[in-house]
Amino acid sequence: MTETIGNQAAAPTAEPAGTEQDALRCTQAFLGYLSKWTQPYKLLAAWLAADLQRLDEKKSLTYYTAERLFQLGEPRVKATPTQWLAQQWKVLGGFAAEHEAGLIGFARQKGFSAYCLPVKETGRGAGNPSEYRLQVKVLPAGETVLPDAQTSVGMADGRVHYIAESIVRPAWFLRGVFRHDMGLVLQGWRKALFIGYWLGVGGFSLLGLLLFLLGSQQAAVSPGAWLQSLSTLAIVGLVVWLAARPLIRLIDWRITSAPSAWLALSEEPAQMELIRGRKDLGEANRIRFVRYSAPCPLCGNKVYLREGGRQFPNRMVGRCEENPAEHVFSFDRVSLLGFTVTQ
């Protein structure tokens, strides 16, 4: 039976109510973990609360119109519901691409059996407006982790379990090369462009060396030529180092800090990760921008991945945002586990 609320019809679901509630509470808790309270995330939080209330009242999940979501968002703007929601959907429409991997990891850690994502369905029939719903997705059997067991172990031995909190957006000049959900897939013209980048760095290095040699030959004639050639070599060396260092570390470590200039202006510090494709499946290697984090088992704040620096050279470590000097953890990118480390 289809339930109708005004012009809203019950959303299709084959999941029991308990699973639906678990899914909504999982995404609700994940939003609290992210602590990104911009208008789109506030709208999603209100949306989750509204559907949780419906389930508590023994009602089914439902489709939402732009007008209903406009009411939930309570915006203080002079815009039509459709115009306002179109702006919010620029973020919510990419929620799955940006956060689904982290949401799955979060669900596993916290013992949830399912999670949900906001989806848009275009008008069903001529003249019907688009509708929106929360899509419930169940974790495969055996992939949940009992929260009490995970928490007790973590508190006992200082273990952290990282998640890929967000797939990070690249800077505007890289968006034609990096797909938000897949990153830079090293095949076809994108692979050729990646190779061309290295050839460009190498060519620029040779140009700098050539200018230095020419300046050295003129040093006997002009005393200032030697200083000029040294300055040219230093500038070229710095540019080459800044251009090549992140990718050299990426190839060596498989993960490194992403240069801030390569990320969107609104993004916080993140990592650049090399993911090897399975050759037996014909998968290509790819590079993605990602942000790893974990709850700190010592104080409950968030641990973010950073380069170890002089204290922990040639490694990535997790540092608590509230006590970065003392609450420091290792990082294993295969198991996504970390343990307390000391110098």
Confidence band for 3, pLDDT divided at 50, 70 and 90:
very low
- CA 209, 211, 213, 215 dihedral sign is negative
Residues in the chain: 343
pTM: 0.80
Domain spans in the chain, listed from the N-terminal domain onward: 4-145, 184-338
The structure tokens listed for 147 are 């929260």
The structure tokens listed for 267 are 């993004």
Confidence band for 10, pLDDT divided at 50, 70 and 90:
low
Residue 216: half-sphere exposure toward Cβ, Cα within 13 Å = 8
Cα–Cα distance measured from residue 297 to residue 87, given in angstroms and rounded to the nearest whole number: 37
- Return left, alpha or beta for 128; rule: phi > 0 is left, psi -120 to 50 is alpha, else beta: beta
Chain position carrying tokens 């104080």: 299
Contacts of 228 (CB under 8 A, 6+ apart): 215
The structure tokens listed for 23 are 């899914």
pLDDT in tens, 141-184: 655 554 544 444 344 467 899 999 999 999 998 888 888 778 88
Cα–Cα distance measured from residue 130 to residue 132, given in angstroms and rounded to the nearest whole number: 7
Q: Is 170 helix (H, G, I), strand (E, B) or coil?
A: strand
pLDDT in tens, 257-272: 999 999 999 899 999 9
